[in-house]
Structure formats: structure tokens, C-alpha cells
Structure 1
């Protein structure tokens, strides 16, 4: 019983932290090109602001919390990608925070059965995108369908937290209409 209570409190705290970030706090630009693990070039603007919720996850192959949270992101994407939300991952090297090693990222993506876009960069990606300095790994940004940043989580995130937060924002949006 205590464990469930602690999980509920933790989820509420994380959701509160996510809710504290609004689109007015961040002025982002997503026209920068990044290489994907299949060597093609992609812009974040291909995903963000295209009518779906976007979970942008910054992670590293050797980051223990990143490895632990990846199945949650895969599950979230698998359940929502045909509906209203997608996951986009940007891999950076850990612990150097330099440019990600493509072979390591490909092996990781195969091991974890990642079926969402995986792009390669370094820790300056968040600054170049106008999202501020990267505070740690993993870091997850949540964008609404219009492309506004509506949440940021430094540290692990779960499918349940993402779904709860998105549902709360949808309800809030309906109440404002």
C-alpha cells in the first residue's frame, strides 16, 4: 500500500514539474538539420508542430537511466504513434556529452526495438534549438500539436506520466473552449 502511495505522490510531483513549464518560457527554433541513424538528414520541424504531441527525448547509449526509461518510450510510441503522439529521440554521447557514435546508437536501437526517429547530435542540441542548456540525461521535452513546449523533465519519465500529463492538458484545453 505504501509503495502505491509513493508512486502516486512521485507521479503528481513530476506532473507538477512538467506543468510548471509553459510555451511562453521557451522560444524554440527547429529548422536545424540532424543526421539520423540511417544517414538521412532530418529537421526537428518535420516532427514538431505537425499536429501531434511530440515527446523529444535527449539520451545516451551508456546512460543508465536512459537505458531504463527507453522501454517506456518505446511502449508509449507504439501505443500512440498512429493516433496523436510520437517520440523522437536525439542521441548524444555519454558521459562526454559529445557527438553520438552512430554504430553504438544503431546497436542500442536494435536491442531496444526502437521504431521511432533516432537522430544524432551532441549536448549543444538544446541550445541550438533554443531550448536552453541541457541539464542532464535523460531530458524529455513535450510539445503540444501546435509545436509549443508544454513540459520538460530532467531524469527518467514513464509512459504513464506522459499519458497522464497529455490527458490533463487535453482536458484543460477543452475547458478553455
Structure 2
């Protein structure tokens, strides 16, 4: 069976188990558990790219998140690999291959789906997916598919301007 078919079956199975079992926590590459809430709301925009090492679109678009991070040092960039802890070696190879210098975590589709549903009433569709939080930690976007560095930058600039316009004058 091809890796893509296996990944699809695993994803569908994990999604089906979403409401019958607790989703596991995100974990750092060293195994330390961490939550989405610990990643965001630190006074900076946060962009999370959800990816998988066997995802062709993730490979094709990896340079966009690297370019975004380099041109936006004031934004926290975090990667979440859906290779889970069992695929840590594959995730680490992907990180090295694409020169990801930002923090990368391990998770699974169920955990990401649980988070998106609980925060935005949206289901996780697949990889790649970009999740954007404002400096206060509020989810402002969850976009599946390819997103360029320019589009991410423009979105954050537009949202920042809109948030400043709605703040009361001091």
C-alpha cells in the first residue's frame, strides 16, 4: 500500500476517533508535552504551519514559510508535523532538508482537528494548513493549502491595521 494511501487511512481513522478518545498533546522533538495555548498570545503574531513529511504540497511549499520567517522576525513561526512521535525521524529529516530554523512540534490530525474545532468550530482538512493567531492569542485564520510568504505578510499587515483602527484612542 502506498504511503499516501496509508496516511489517508490513518488520517480518516484518527478523525473518526476524535470524539471517542482524548487527543494526545503536542510534543516538542525532545518529547516534552506542550499545548496550543502555550504557543500563542505572547504579544506577537503567531503563524503555525501544519505539515507532514510525506505531503507533496508541504514539500513544494516549504520555502514559503522559510521566506516568511526570514522576512518577518517579529512573528513567531511554528511548525507542527503530523508525523507524530512514531514518525519523528521522518519529521527531523524534513526539517533538515528544508532548513526549518523555527520551532517544530510533533502531533497528529486528531489533535489539530480537536484544537480547530474547539477554537473556531472548523474541521482540519489536511496538509499543509496555516493557522494564524493575533498578538493576544486569538485565532484569526485557518487556511488549508498553499500560502505564500507574501500572502501571509499581507494578511497580518491588514489584520494589524484593522485591530489598531478598532482600538479606542488614548
* Cross-structure match for 1:142: 132
Q: Counterparts in 2 of 1:1-177, with a 5 A limit?
A: 33-81=25-73, 83=74, 85-93=75-83, 101-129=87-115, 130-131=118-119, 132-177=122-167
The answer for unaligned runs of 5 or more in structure 2 is 1-23
**Going by fraction, where is helix more abundant, 1 or 2?**
2
- Please report how far the alpha carbon of residue 133 of structure 1 lies from its aligned counterpart in structure 2 after TM superposition: 2.5
SS of equivalent to 1:101: helix
Query: TM-score normalized by structure 1?
Result: 0.72
TM-score (norm 2): 0.74
Structure 1 runs, 4 residues or longer, greater than 6 Å off: none
Asked if structure 2 preserves the Cα contact closer than 8 Å seen for 1:53 and 1:86, the reply is yes
Q: Is the 8 A contact 2:25 2:107 kept in 1?
A: no
Structure 1 CA distance, aligned partners of 2:25 and 2:85? 14
Q: What's the RMSD between the two structures over aligned residues?
A: 1.9
